[in-house]
Structure 1
């Protein structure tokens, strides 16, 4: 945008605090290379456009705003002469992207001293060489430091997740190894029992009955009901009495196995009716090996299935085999993150999933949203552990107006009111030294707000802290890619 040109008075611009220490010659050069422009109410420049000019207000009222999602959010409004904006990083040249980092408009006719960006950069280097070096050092030093610590934050999270995943994988893998060793022993005993039966005085019909009973028993094991401890104890007592009444040795050892497999007295009565009384103890022993074998194979199947599910969760979490930007189901992302962090939550923290499964899939960067979930869950768990080590983490999804809500609620001590406005600041942390970098919430805010055009809010009271992520249901633009510059570009 351009305003109406007006005469430039060196005496007038000398009254602006930015130029008050300049010499007469320097003020003259500014008036020669720059110009005074009058802008009528309306926009002066727009965020994201190439930064071509440096503006210093002489008189009037300016409003600065930043784009968040599809909205322009006002960040300041002032009538103070001398306020400035525009190409304030021009002295850095092409080392950073030279765009306007905010939008400026005026609400009344407003006069500006306007200096082209190239002239502003030249003046800065010639008149303030030491200041320029200091500013460059501060700018790039802060940027590099933040990048390095951000990388450390990701590595710490990866190390924590890897440790948790290793622990989670070790449990089912060890269970499968133990079950395999026990299965080998049971199969050996079954072969021995089969040899004993084959050498015994059993007719072809009796052997056929035993095989049929074995098949029906295996089917019964696959459909075993889930019993309460009291129900299981009562059934074990009944089965033990039945076995002892029929002369089956060590019935008290067989009863728990039979009950776990879903066998009861009625089933044993059917077995007794199908074989002669003299071979009943042998038949029961044969069925015991069958049941144990089936249970061990179920345990192996459960363990290997859990290993497979953990590997799938790791792939879902990392998104290594998927496009960076895609239409995703937030519930799949949440489930994979919770599974990856299950070792960290532990048994004393209860996790409640309150999902609205009718919510649509949304365009997103899934791997980066998983990083947000990780940061928010980790903070919630740490907060509850600093209290009494116990608590409840509730993960809720819902439709909130025209956005998708993901809420993480914990029962920790809460965020004190005096620091609530600072928790999203880079490097701010309440964790002990060495346990936090202070970038988790900052990174989360950048991902949610800058990359997804969403919002990240917090509500907190003792025993009830809620971090709420609001995400758009549709793509930010035709290509699905955000147009907001990164915070590094905004600096």
Structure 2
């Protein structure tokens, strides 16, 4: 074994001895310091967790205060009962330690005792109120003693929690500072001893590694010489590489030129081959053409006789055509007569359709007759009773006026005035004047209401279906609602959301009234008599080129199985004598006649909504009998 190897082994052994001594000192002699440092973070964690548990107690208490149901109240109360024991256990660990949590009793320094006193005070406040919350019973009455106790405890907890958090944070900071003081507790003597060992190792290393440094220097010189030789060889290789690169480039260019020549030669061969093939095809076509000419000449000779036969046949066909033309003219004349009959039938059909629409309208009006009569009877009663009272008041005033007229005949003024006073007291003159104003208002209301009903009847029953006129959709709906008022009064709420800025549109007003009547009447009938929350909702909206009307009810809805049949003529779910089954079919035809669109959505026991879209100007649509299908969702 070499001498330098012995030096290295001795140095390594010395280093191992020093490292063992340091490890013995750290892991054996300072065990108490390390144990204290490991224990303090557990106390720090408990102190920090107390703050979090306190916040959870307050959150559970607030949840109990805001609970609207007994179930939610019980959930928050159960959560509070789960947190409280854990919070109390942590508090005892901070004061006296806990074997279960692995925490020994903290040292009772004056600073820590002061922090304990603050923590105990706020702990007692929170513990008392949290315990009270566990005994509170849920109630909806804000004046009940349970509600008052709940509110008082929550307010106290909210006011105390912040102070309790500050107390736990102070204890956390105390233990963190104490743990840091343990961690950095090395004395001056320990530092001097550690420095001596390090200096000794460095001095010994100088004697051990000096021969190794000399050996490394010699090795470096040898390696440097070898590197110079390798560098020269590398330069020579680069020169040879450049030469080889030039040779390869020339070879590549030669190969490329050779490939180009070979490509041109192949192209020439291909052109020659194509020319030969073209010539062969031309020769074949010439031979074929010659054969066809010979054949055609032969056919020409054969067809001469056929042409003569065809000429005879053509004469016969001409005679047949003449007869067919004569028969066609007779058929055309019959067709024109049939067309005129069809036109007459179409006009009759249109007239019948118009009459059917009007009949359906009158049938709807007939069903409303009793209600309309009642509606007219009420304002007429106002007028009748008011007129009787007005007549009596006028007779009383006439007596007073006649007494005044005696002045013109030369009667004594004092006597007249005295008589007038007596008459005023007898007839209650002041009350007559007040009642007269009220009576005139009642009569005026009756007249106005009667005019509205008559106007609604006139608008609804108009016979101008084929005349396009300007009309206001909102006014037409109001006229229809006037006629239906007896069916909705005191039973169904009518909510109107009109577009107040809606302009008039060009339409068939009488027919639109029929549409509104059919849909609104069906909506009223769909709301059961015992439903005290029945409602009809009406929306209107004017868009750029069209208007949209939404008619909605909260009735029984349309069953899914008949949604696709409501537009069919004579289809009805009502009892015999109640409906004809034509209302919705006529409605669909009227909307289509306007060039508009009608859709509906319906859910059973939820209600139905019809959406009608009408252009601002009537655009007639040619309707196919097979395409009359409404859109439904």
Select the structure with the greater relative contact order (CA < 8 A; seq sep ≥ 6): 1
Higher strand proportion (structure 1 or 2):
1
Higher Rg: 2
